[in-house]
Structure 1
Amino acid sequence: WSTIETKLPEGSRHTGLVKNITPYGVFVELAPGIGGMIHISDLSWLKRFNHPSEYTKVGGNIDVIILGIDKENRKLQLGHKQLEEDPWNTLQDTFAPGTIHEGTVVRKDDKGAIVQLPYGLEGFAPNRHLAKEDGKVLVPDETAQFVVIEFDRNEKRIVVSHARIWEQVKIEEKETAKKEARTEADSTRKTVKTIQSKVEKATLGDLGALAQLKQKLQQEEQQGGETKE
């Protein structure tokens, strides 16, 4: 360990042997008597594991990067996900709120479900967002369309909803029906006004004709009286 910084400097990459797995991490041996732990949160940028054994097994090899050296306690802080660039930095536009993606329900608990999305990303769908249009709910291994309702790059969290897709369709259908009804009502009002205008013009025309006829009759009566005299 006296020359550990030279043999295994911070930032260097190595392949180690998985010696033990605990609920909080993976213990890796890089050389006899030299090793360290990969914390469960440092296994993957995109996936969240209930237990590290979901990712690797004792006796297997795993690639690591040296994150820190505790020379006094002879411990190494190891990382695995840090071998690659954080994809959350580049997926923000792809998974912006409102975008729709195909996803598969991986597992469920009492709060909701983990949904496998494109590019290896996992999202979370609360229970109420798993509802289907037919009244049923999505179950594990079922694939459906999901809309992103939250993307938090810092917290490495994405929240998705299936229910909101068909709910939005219904809302849009109602809005379309309202617009069509308003358009039809406006058209009806215009038609009524046109008819009323024509009726008024016709009435005024009839009154004018009657006045002319009355005046003509009066003139004829007057002429008839003059003839008798």
Structure 2
Amino acid sequence: MIVDVFGIEAFLPGSQIDVKPIRDYDIFVGKTMEFKVVKINQEFKNVVVSHKALIEAELEQQKKEIISKLERGQVLKGVVKNITTYGVFIDLGGVDGLIHITDLSWGRVSHPEEVVKLDQELDVVILDFDDERKRIALGLKQLQPHPWDALDSELKVGDKVNGRVVVMADYGAFVEIAPGVEGLIHVSEMSWSQHLRSAQDFMKVGDEVEAVILTLDRDERKMSLGIKQLKKDPWEDIEVRYPMGSKHTAKVRNFTNFGVFVEIEEGVDGLIHISDLSWTKKVKHPSEFTQLGAEIEVVVLEIDKDNRRLSLGHKQLEDNPWEGLEAIFTPGSIQEGTIVEMQDKGAVISLDHGMEGFATPKHLVKQDGSMPKVGDTLDFKVIEFNKDNKRIFLSHSRIFEDEAKAEKNEARKARRQNSRREEQPVLNTPIEKTTLGDLQELAALKEKLAGK
């Protein structure tokens, strides 16, 4: 502001008008006041004055007198001087005190402006003060009875209450059922489902909710609530709704190395063991068979009510194909197969009827000595069909090895037969000569005897 001092224009900073913040400067226009000259600049012909400097010394003496008379628990009248996000400054008549935001109301307060307004006159209670720093902690809510003391004495565990969500956290939600009376709904009490979820998935600040009182401690002023208790526990009659052998549609929730966790309905979970996914495929990890969020058909194999878990199967939806394929994949039979995976220990081979076989590296060698690759389709000879262990062992090299062996055996057999034919005349020649000789000698002897 500009101040006229004996015809000289002096400058009055807004912060030097009074000890408290000034919001309306117009009320000072035309007003005659005393000022203290705090600065003169002859070169720029500039004069700075202050009214605050005159009253600070007097206020300092007043503060000492006021503080000397303060007592904890004393109730004083004050005026709201300033409002911040963390609290309210109160003018107690020359000395300031602070009401922290947590001491404004027994209920939750997002901003002090929800409770007080500027220039409002209030009764406040002194909570604490510091003689040296001249800091005074004030309270407003302490003048009101604690809401827990006024809570309905008939309220008990199991009762239903209505409230408003005032604070959200990952682990739960705080619900105000009366001003200053809050209860915690833990995330585990929001749904019968055992899947880890955040409380924000169920509600948000400002929601009006109905809940059931789970615990109530009036001495500690604590209360826990639940909303899942408003619905029937799905495991109460699990044997009736999901009997063993019944078929259902489930949603894939999680994978482990040993199986798939699925949810049939909210709160009803089950495990499909990796061995119960397929009759024919060797599944190394469930992610090879299905995906998260996908639906999958299941059969109830076992019910564990105590641990709230079902044992489920997927392959049981179909008959065991191993029972009828023994006559097709007989040892020694030739089957066409496609290599679908190469491993250090051998190859996985896709066969007809949805079956898979396995061949070790030595049984994969082609006739030209090369090795096949993934995607190659070859003929394989069945070495072993084991329906108990659900294994089919195959060999490609055995096909031409057995053919070569058969040809070798045929050649050996032919040589033996030829050898016998060649040896047979040699053995009969002496017999033939002896026989003829004997006949000639007998004839000559006969003629000699006849001549005599």
TM-score after normalising by structure 2: 0.45
CA distance in structure 1 between the partners assigned to 2:279 and 2:315 by the alignment:
6
CA distance in structure 2 between the partners assigned to 1:210 and 1:92 by the alignment:
79
Q: After superposition, what is the alpha-carbon deviation per residue over 1:127-174, rounded to whole angstroms, capped at 9, x for unaligned?
A: 111122211223221111112221221111121111211111111111
CA distance in structure 1 between the partners assigned to 2:437 and 2:366 by the alignment:
61
CA displacement at 1:103 relative to structure 2: 1.2
Runs of 5+ in structure 2 lacking a partner?
1-234
Task: Find out whether 1:32 has 2:266 as its counterpart.
Answer: yes
CA displacement at 1:203 relative to structure 2: 5.1
Task: Find out whether 1:98 has 2:335 as its counterpart.
Answer: no
For 1:212-227, list aligned pairs within 5 A. Answer: none
2:316 alignment counterpart: 82
CA displacement at 1:198 relative to structure 2: 4.5
Residue correspondences, number: 217
Q: Name the SS of the counterpart of 2:382 in structure 1.
A: strand
For 1:57-206, list aligned pairs within 5 A. Answer: 57-201=291-435
CA distance in structure 1 between the partners assigned to 2:442 and 2:418 by the alignment:
36
Which is greater in Rg? 2
Task: Find out whether 1:43 has 2:43 as its counterpart.
Answer: no
CA distance in structure 1 between the partners assigned to 2:375 and 2:284 by the alignment:
18
CA displacement at 1:12 relative to structure 2: 0.3
CA distance in structure 2 between the partners assigned to 1:114 and 1:205 by the alignment:
79
Runs of 4+ aligned structure 1 residues displaced above 6 Å come to: 208-213
**Aligned residue identity for 1:71:** K
Q: Name the SS of the counterpart of 1:98 in structure 2.
A: coil
From the two aligned structures, give the one with the greater helix fraction. 1
Identity of aligned residues (%): 45
Quick one: higher RCO (CA 8 Å, sep 6+), 1 or 2? 1
RMSD over aligned Cα atoms = 2.3
CA distance in structure 1 between the partners assigned to 2:401 and 2:305 by the alignment:
58
Q: Name the SS of the counterpart of 2:261 in structure 1.
A: strand
Larger CA deviation: 21-30 vs 191-200: 191-200
CA displacement at 1:211 relative to structure 2: 7.2
CA distance in structure 1 between the partners assigned to 2:284 and 2:425 by the alignment:
68
Runs of 5+ in structure 1 lacking a partner?
220-229
Q: Name the SS of the counterpart of 1:182 in structure 2.
A: helix
**Aligned residue identity for 1:46:** T
